[in-house]
Structure 1
Amino acid sequence: MFTGSFSRALAAAWLAMLALAGCSAGAPLLPPLDDAAALQRDHQAFVDAMKPRGAGGARPVVAVLASNEGTEMTDLMLPYAVLQRADVADVRIVAPRAGQVDLFPALQVEGAQDFASFDRAHPAGADYVIVPAMMSDDAPEITGWLNRQAGQGARVIGVCSGARVVGQAGLLDGRRFAGHWYDRGTLLKRHPGSTHVPHRRYVVDRGVATTTGITASVPAMLALVEAIGGREKASAVAADLGAVSWSPAHDSTPFALDNGKRIDYLLDKAAFWRGERWAVEVRDGMDDVSLALATDAWERTGRVRVEAVSPSGPVRLRSGLVLTARPAGAGDVGAPRLPLSATLKPVPQLDRTLCEIAGRHGDARRDWVMLEMEYPAQQRAAACAG
């Protein structure tokens, strides 16, 4: 289990490795030349490919795959929370061991079901397996279980660098994929016959879907909700999240590292000890999506380390997910608090957080965060003006 500064060092090394991989991604991308018909076609292809196959109207089973030792926070928390809000499926977090899952860049959750107990409860397998980014993309127990689930007919959705895990399970060879921008070169080298598809937030090919960076889990999960529960259900969940659209439209061209930025980026990520410690006061019923997006963004500045605190210990978030929290102590008096609005919906909360990061650390730092999260700046200006 990763704890303390050792966990931070590993996370910094993991992010640095990803950045290096992205620098070898190949020639710069051309700007997108999409029309509305092409975007609608690709959106509908995803929805059609993800429609439930079960008979008799049974609720589909969704397994959100996790590594106990390190799973990307937003990649796990957001899909789980969005699907729970939609109430269109039975959703489980599944990991090699039952219990705690350490998240990066921050937080921990409880309640994972182990592979063996999930398999006993669902001998026909999951209907869908969602695969977040993990600290190790080639753990045999994880990739083996994922491969078996796909063999039983599960549709697989690799979120962000979860595409690496999907690939290590043998599910990207010969397929079209999206993936986070810094994984493109690595995935093309690893998987013969694979094809990277730029300018799409999500892509599906023969039952295996992949998304671009961290924030693509919002539109991808809304598209999955549409596939399972219909357009009206997806619209309602989108409104609850403050999401304007869940189209696959995406301009991939701004997301890259040139040689000058590469060195600054890696040095900055290695300096994990410079972050000031912030607390986020968590409580039962707190919005998972807002918490995950804001925490992820502040942590990725390289200047802030966030810990969850609560007077009562672990809390049950809005989705039902149990979040580990330490008791607040004397050292927390006067310590900085993660700024979260009680009135903003999750997507506007992220936009507001990016404005606050720019105000505290400058536009360049804000832009680094958006680069890592592969987040287009569609609403940021309005959020900063508010």
Structure 2
Amino acid sequence: MVARILPRLRPRRGGLPGRPAAAFTSAFATPNQENRMKTATHLAKLLPLAGALLCAATAPALAASDETIAPYQARFGRAQPVIAVIGESSGTELSDYVIPYAVLSRSGAAEVLSLASRPGRLQMTPAPLQIDPQATITQFDARFPDGADYIIVPKVGKDKDSRLLAWLRDQNKKGATIVSICDGALAVAATGLLKGHRATAHWATEERRAKAYPDTDWVANKRYVADRRFVSSSGISAAIPTSLALVEAIAGRARAGALAAELGVSDWSSRHDSSVFQPGYGQNAKALAAIGGGRWSGTSTGIGVPLGAGVDDIALAFTLDAYSRTGSSVALAVSASAAPVRTRDGLMIVPDRVAGAGDAPAIMLPPFDAAPAAHWIDKALAGIARRYGPDAAFGVALAFEYPGYKNEGN
């Protein structure tokens, strides 16, 4: 991504707004909102219904300009909607895939399945992680001949893969709502389905999208865009608010509010300023150069991330993804054995390394603690700043299109 971004340098003043390493919610909430969110979390554990109502009440009210995903309409006599998270087998962006799967699974509002375009393990990027998906698209079609209610499309390496595009077109014909995360919109646009629709994607592909798909109305400054049966999000960190907006469309604002409080998020609206991520010749360009240097010099080293049964999917994804974008490290999932490990939300993760083996990384990150899942993007950035410097952390935040981090090193 850095190689695509740096040639597009143009002057701009300043960097990202926000506070450093202050939890995911800091990008969206005032301190008073954060305190109300914590109170709501405790109440939700004691009194589920009252807690859910309180969370909905404390969430910021929708503005007229906010995007809204159309409410779910039950089909085929299903008790819950069926949501398929589809990955292209040779390369799929880790957080784009794992985080929507985890958020939607954790909501309890839908049947969520992890799919791959072809048989075998699903290769993730930028971390070299592999996942054993629950089904292929062929197996999914056999089980659900009427199709999914929602399809989640992450960024994939081969965004013109004929098998994937044909399946997306078929699911669209069957009435599915297609939700792209980050540059998953490039694959959806390649199907031709976005012609005449509004959409968004990662800030760094703005010019590419406009040139390749001029019949789509590409919208800036939105966390996500909803246009009939197409929903699209901005960069990687938008996976959580977009997923919560989908939970709200399926199960209501109270359910989304309760889940948001559990995750450590207080606002999942579409409000966003994508212009602050543009490289410029100052702080942003310096940060992006910091994370590009290691890739160009080939000096990345392994960083071990503990992988154990029941690990939080969101914490794992943010950590592996962030450390693998520094240009100085590649994050490896390290487990006690080579056997696949089941996460909290049911994904089967294939360990990259076995603890104590000769190829295990010398540097290991500490085990995950009980921090709310969405806070792990800030925890990962703080760790990167300590190890590789604030410019590297800021560069990763730019790549994530994450508005909650500011480089205090400049």
How does the TM-score come out when normalised to structure 1? 0.85
Secondary structure in 2 matching 1:210: strand
What does 1:72-87 correspond to in 2, within 5 Å?
72-87=93-108
Structure 1 position 94 matched with structure 2 position 115: yes
Report the Cα offset of residue 241 of structure 1.
1.0
Contact 1:72 1:103 (8 Å CA) reproduced: yes
Report the Cα offset of residue 288 of structure 1.
0.4
Contact 2:199 2:232 (8 Å CA) reproduced: yes
State the AA in 2 paired with 1:356: G
Contact 2:294 2:300 (8 Å CA) reproduced: no
Residue 67 of structure 1 corresponds to 88
Secondary structure in 2 matching 1:185: helix
Report the Cα offset of residue 304 of structure 1.
1.3
Structure 1 position 319 matched with structure 2 position 341: no
State the AA in 2 paired with 1:19: I
Match of 2:308 among 283, 289, 295: 283
Match of 2:224 among 192, 196, 202: 202
Report the Cα offset of residue 25 of structure 1.
10
Residue 49 of structure 2 corresponds to none
Residue 368 of structure 1 corresponds to 395
The 1:379/1:27 distance shift into structure 2, 3 A limit, reads closer
Secondary structure in 2 matching 1:59: coil
Residue 301 of structure 1 corresponds to 326
The 1:310/1:182 distance shift into structure 2, 3 A limit, reads same
Match of 2:383 among 348, 356, 359: 356
Q: Within 2, Cα distance between the matches of 1:65 and 1:26?
A: 38
The 1:227/1:279 distance shift into structure 2, 3 A limit, reads same
Residue 63 of structure 2 corresponds to 40
State the AA in 2 paired with 1:74: S
What does 1:151-166 correspond to in 2, within 5 Å?
151-166=173-188
**Structure 1 residue ranges without an equivalent (≥5):** 1-14, 382-386
Contact 1:161 1:180 (8 Å CA) reproduced: yes
Contact 1:25 1:182 (8 Å CA) reproduced: no
Residue 274 of structure 1 corresponds to 299
What does 1:109-188 correspond to in 2, within 5 Å?
109-188=131-210
Q: Within 1, Cα distance between the matches of 2:60 and 2:362?
A: 52
The 10-residue stretch of structure 1 (200-209 or 189-198) with the greater mean CA deviation from structure 2: 189-198
Secondary structure in 1 matching 2:298: helix
The 10-residue stretch of structure 1 (145-154 or 49-58) with the greater mean CA deviation from structure 2: 49-58
Match of 2:8 among 9, 23, 29: 23
Secondary structure in 2 matching 1:40: coil
State the AA in 1 paired with 2:172: A
Contact 1:310 1:327 (8 Å CA) reproduced: yes
Report the Cα offset of residue 279 of structure 1.
1.3
Secondary structure in 2 matching 1:253: helix
1:239-283 CA distances to partner (integer Å, 9 max, x unpaired)?
121112111111112111236839937952642631111111211
The 1:172/1:272 distance shift into structure 2, 3 A limit, reads farther
Structure 1 position 58 matched with structure 2 position 79: yes
The 1:27/1:345 distance shift into structure 2, 3 A limit, reads closer
Contact 2:381 2:393 (8 Å CA) reproduced: yes
The 1:318/1:342 distance shift into structure 2, 3 A limit, reads same
Q: Within 2, Cα distance between the matches of 1:63 and 1:177?
A: 20
Contact 2:74 2:80 (8 Å CA) reproduced: no
Q: Higher relative contact order at CA 8 Å, sep ≥6: structure 1 or structure 2?
A: 2
Contact 1:176 1:196 (8 Å CA) reproduced: yes
The 1:267/1:333 distance shift into structure 2, 3 A limit, reads closer
Report the Cα offset of residue 112 of structure 1.
3.9
Q: Within 2, Cα distance between the matches of 1:248 and 1:178?
A: 11
Report the Cα offset of residue 230 of structure 1.
1.3
Q: Within 1, Cα distance between the matches of 2:141 and 2:11?
A: 41
Q: Within 2, Cα distance between the matches of 1:341 and 1:110?
A: 22
Q: Within 2, Cα distance between the matches of 1:334 and 1:142?
A: 35
The 1:234/1:172 distance shift into structure 2, 3 A limit, reads same
Report the Cα offset of residue 192 of structure 1.
3.0
The 10-residue stretch of structure 1 (166-175 or 150-159) with the greater mean CA deviation from structure 2: 166-175
Contact 1:213 1:373 (8 Å CA) reproduced: yes
The 1:251/1:339 distance shift into structure 2, 3 A limit, reads farther
Report the Cα offset of residue 349 of structure 1.
2.0
Report the Cα offset of residue 320 of structure 1.
0.6
- Give the percent of matched residue pairs that are identical in Structure 1 and Structure 2: 37
Report the Cα offset of residue 125 of structure 1.
0.9
How does the TM-score come out when normalised to structure 2? 0.80
Report the Cα offset of residue 352 of structure 1.
2.0
1:346-382 CA distances to partner (integer Å, 9 max, x unpaired)?
222211221221222222111110110000026999x
Q: Within 1, Cα distance between the matches of 2:405 and 2:375?
A: 11
Report the Cα offset of residue 111 of structure 1.
2.4
The 1:179/1:359 distance shift into structure 2, 3 A limit, reads same
State the AA in 2 paired with 1:82: V
The 1:212/1:250 distance shift into structure 2, 3 A limit, reads same
**Runs ≥4 in structure 1, deviation > 4 angstroms?**
24-28, 36-39, 378-381
Secondary structure in 1 matching 2:185: helix
State the AA in 2 paired with 1:174: G
Cα RMSD over matched residues? 3.0
The 1:201/1:183 distance shift into structure 2, 3 A limit, reads same
Secondary structure in 2 matching 1:173: coil
